């Protein structure tokens, strides 16, 4: 899983921006938020990329500078006005086919499902560690936040609205989409 220099830079900038926004620019919250953002955002994007490459597509993460500016602006407005709206569309994995304009609905559905499934898996793992391990303190708060952000990101991304993952999954297989969004909603509701 080799990351090109530009891709690593784009992931890093996106990660930093999301960490700042999700922590409400509170330095004391960053350590708790960072693990959740890293596992929710970076793992999600890498999962898309790896599944696309498995099917022979060229795939690379690219940041969206307009989205980054909107995320920072919304984060600052939230901080000033005490709101809780988070804009998190800071980039995406771009998937390229050898045949321009050609898409296999099933393969694109699987590529799209990989990110939310990764989030659900990480969220369940963090929740299990937190619950079964009776972990508290800094690690406990970090695990709670990891579960929370992963389930939230899965749920949001599974909305069947273009260009979100849920739209592509729903177009491919409404049954898989229903199970995935149902599971993410159930676990998000537990937190």
Helix then strand then coil, in percent of the chain rounded to 5, is 70, 5, 25
Record the tokens describing residue 89, joined without a space.
């569309």
Please answer whether residues 43 and 14 qualify as being in contact, where contact means their C-beta atoms are separated by less than 8 angstroms: no
- Residue 60 three-state SS: strand
For residue 125, which of 104, 101, 146, 156 has the smallest C-alpha distance?
Answer: 146
Backbone angles phi, psi at 181, to 5 degrees: -70, -35
Please answer whether residues 74 and 25 qualify as being in contact, where contact means their C-beta atoms are separated by less than 8 angstroms: no
Catalytic residues: 45
């Amino acid at each position: 899983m080799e990351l090109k220099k530009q891709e690593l830079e784009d992931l890093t900038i996106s990660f930093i921006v999301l960490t700042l926004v999700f922590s409400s620019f509170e330095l004391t919250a960053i350590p708790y938020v960072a693990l959740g953002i890293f596992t929710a955002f970076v793992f999600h994007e890498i999962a898309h990329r790896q599944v696309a490459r498995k099917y022979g597509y060229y795939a690379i993460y690219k940041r969206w500078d307009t989205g980054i500016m909107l995320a920072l602006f919304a984060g600052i407005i939230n901080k000033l006005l005490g709101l809780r709206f988070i804009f998190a569309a800071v980039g995406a994995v771009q998937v390229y086919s050898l045949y321009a304009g050609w898409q296999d609905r099933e393969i694109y559905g699987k590529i799209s499902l990989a990110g939310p499934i990764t989030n659900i898996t990480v969220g369940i793992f963090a929740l299990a560690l937190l619950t079964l391990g009776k972990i508290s303190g800094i690690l406990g708060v970090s695990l709670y936040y990891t579960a929370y952000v992963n389930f939230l990101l899965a749920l949001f991304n599974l909305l069947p609205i273009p260009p979100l993952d849920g739209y592509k999954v729903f177009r491919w297989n409404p049954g898989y989409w229903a199970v995935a969004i149902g599971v993410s909603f159930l676990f998000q509701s537990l937190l």
